[in-house]
A and B are shown apart, each in its own frame.
Chain A
Amino acid sequence: MRNITTKKTKSYQLVNRKVPYLFILPWIIGFLVFTLGPLILSLIMSFYNWPITSEPTFVGIDNYKTMFTADPQFYKSIIITLKFAAIFVPLNLAIALILALLITQPLKGMKFFRTIFYLPAVVSGVAISIIWGWIFNSEYGILNYLLSFLGIEGPRWLVDPKWALLTIVIASAWGVGIMMLIFYTNIKGIPAELYEAAAIDGAGPFRQFFSITIPSITPTILFNVITSVIGALQQLTLVLLLTGGGPLKSTYFYGLYVYNNAFKHHQLGYASANAWFMFIVILVLTMLIFKTSSTWVFYENEVKKEGKKGRRKNENIKRI
């Protein structure tokens, strides 16, 4: 059997078994000290009625029962949140990628544009909500004022339930600079030889994009997909400060629903049950994305060197 031992396992035999754990030890300590306790406590809390200002009482699974059977807002908020995520995540990824590609163009002034696109991500959430509230005010806002010059009567952005969700999407896509930067860092890391070789083979910019750029940045695509799904499902700050969930609860996202149950209605036990439900949903969703990721994410360190063409066909991939 010895003769079929690959180079890979040989290399690993040189590693002391404890070493990997030493590297991740800081995280393990941090998890035990700062995360595990509060996490378990919030799970326990979800079986209590806890009005915050007075003592908690044990209610068994009542919170979960109420949530699933007697609280219509629970389902409404889930649907709104999913709708938002379904629009926001793909749109945000697309814009981030397009921007990242734009600023890698070998043209003049890229440093300037890079900074411009990044700029909004630097503005604090409190200010952002005020700015957008101003811009979108339907009677005396700037946007509708500008539109009136074009002869367009602007919609009631934050008042019309049909428009409000879109308005939130527009406002939240403003901070796309961070995701752009992540893509950008990855794209910049693609070896130039790959493009040169492809150009010699006669591949145009489109072919190059799909056969080199996209496969090379799949790891950060995975990262951005997962983090923006989490971000979208937990979106709170903007709706809390800009719309308060309105108009007519059309932006009453799940994050706001949990927040209001906890801090406005002082039902911390119930809010914990809400939060644990969402926690499980996101966890399952993330696992699913990871499961499918083995078919579309390519990691260099798990692939035998077979030249760039062999990348996709490789079977020797063990992933989570």
Chain B
Amino acid sequence: MKISKGYKIIMYSLLGLFSLYFVLPFVWVILSALKTETEVFSYPPKIFPEVLQWKNFVDAWSSQPFGVYLKNSVIVTVMTTIGQLLSCSLIAYGFARFDFKFKNTLFVLMLATMMIPWDVTMIPLYMEFKMFGWINTLKPLIVPSFFGSAYYIFLLRQFLMGIPKDLESAARIDGANEFQIFYKIFIPIMKAPLILIAVLNMLSVWNDYLGPLIYLQDQSKYTLALGLAAFKGVHDLQILPIMSITLVMIVPPVVIFLFAQKYIVEGISGSVK
């Protein structure tokens, strides 16, 4: 297919325009992270730092036990991603590919769990985790993911609904059992949305800060997001550490995204035919 020049120009200018909105605040973060305190706040704003302050990163990283935080963040992120992938693929498959009694009721109930305001269930949940002896451990952050999260189940179900029914009918008639159908036929098809879910989950867990704030206590258990928030006091905002740790923290999700892109690009029906 030939693409006209005018079309190209329109497309690129649109892309450029949106890029400005998305990237400019970001560029400002990068520039700020490399400035001195005086330069950051000066007015009229200094666009470029006189000397690039790479030591801001070193100072920020060494001001708290960020190595420990990193380890905790990685544990939580990896474990929850495994948990979500295992559980959500099963559950979404169950909702999307079968007819059974109470299916709709259960599905609505599941959706409803997305709508519960966090503020009021948080304290009861805290009590429950305390009863389990999980407070000040990473378990409250990890274990629930093994039972699926409504958001990802719903998302995956929407993708699974888009696959023709004949697929498993044929396999059933050939005598394949349900788990084989799920595992051998559907998992490969679902690769793109599963990777998508993995990416989204990593992102939200990596940056989650209210969960760790409520359930963790001493610094040896903190995650990166919590360490980042600890630069913000009631009266004092430590801007340089915040900016540099923010930049450090986005590296892993972006790298993972760059790797995941390849699979997401394949789309879902790539392997259906």
Interface set of A (CB-CB < 8 Å, partner B)? 7-8, 11-12, 14-17, 19-24, 26-31, 33-35, 37-39, 41-42, 45, 95, 98-99, 102, 105-107, 111, 113-127, 130-132, 134-135, 140, 142, 145, 174, 177-178, 181-182, 184-191, 199, 216, 219-220, 222-223, 226-227, 230, 234, 255, 258-259, 262-263, 268, 271-272, 275-276, 278-279, 282-283, 286-287, 290, 299-302, 305, 320
Q: Which residues of B have CB within 8 Å of A11?
A: 165, 168-169, 172-173
**Which of B1, B28, B90, B178 is the one whose CB lies under 8 Å from A135?**
B28
Check if B209 sits within 8 Å of A125, measured CB to CB: yes
A123 with B250: CB separation less than 8 A: yes
B116 lies within 8 A of chain A by Cβ: yes
> When the two chains form the complex, which single residue of B86, B96, B166, B264 contacts A185, counting CB atoms closer than 8 Å?
B264
B120 adjacent to A262 (CB under 8 Å): yes
Indicate which residue in A17, A27, A182, A199 contacts B147 across the interface (CB closer than 8 Å). Answer: A27
Among B100, B246, B264, point to the contact of A181 (Cβ < 8 A).
B264
Q: Count A-B pairs with CB separation below 8 Å.
A: 291
| Nearest 4 A/B pairs, CB to CB | A30-B147, A23-B94, A188-B267, A189-B267
Query: Are A23 and B18 interface neighbours, CB within 8 A?
Result: no
Q: For A255, what are the chain B residues with a Cβ–Cβ distance below 8 Å? A: 117
Q: A11-B172, A174-B25, A301-B97 are in contact. Are A38 and B228 (CB under 8 A)?
A: no
Are A107 and B147 also in contact (CB < 8 A) when A31-B110, A102-B11, A142-B45 are? no
Q: Chain A contacts of B146 at CB under 8 A? A: 26, 30
Minimal beta-carbon separation of B73 from chain A (angstroms):
11
Contacts of B104 in A (CB 8 A): 320
* Interface contact B144-A124, CB-CB below 8 Å: no
Which residues of the partner chain A approach B228 to less than 8 Å between Cβ atoms? 124, 126-127
Q: List 17 A-B contacts (CB under 8 A).
A: A20-B103, A24-B91, A42-B121, A119-B22, A119-B26, A123-B26, A123-B250, A127-B246, A130-B232, A142-B28, A186-B267, A189-B159, A222-B158, A279-B115, A286-B112, A301-B165, A320-B107
- Cβ of B19 under 8 Å from chain A: yes
B172 to A278, Cβ gap below 8 A?
Answer: no
Q: How far is the CB of B17 from chain A (nearest CB, A)?
A: 10
Cβ–Cβ < 8 Å partners of A118 in chain B: 257
Among B21, B154, B182, chain A packs the most CB atoms within 10 A around the CB of: B21
On B, residues with C-beta under 8 Å from A are: 1, 3, 8, 11-12, 14-15, 18-19, 21-23, 25-26, 28-29, 43-45, 86-87, 90-91, 93-100, 103-104, 106-125, 128, 144, 146-148, 151, 153-155, 158-166, 168-169, 172-173, 178, 182, 192-193, 196, 199-200, 203, 207, 209, 225, 228-229, 232, 237, 239, 242-243, 246, 249-250, 253-254, 257-258, 261, 264-270, 273
Query: Nearest chain-B residue to A278 (Cβ)?
Result: B117
A102 x B15 contact (CB < 8 A)? yes
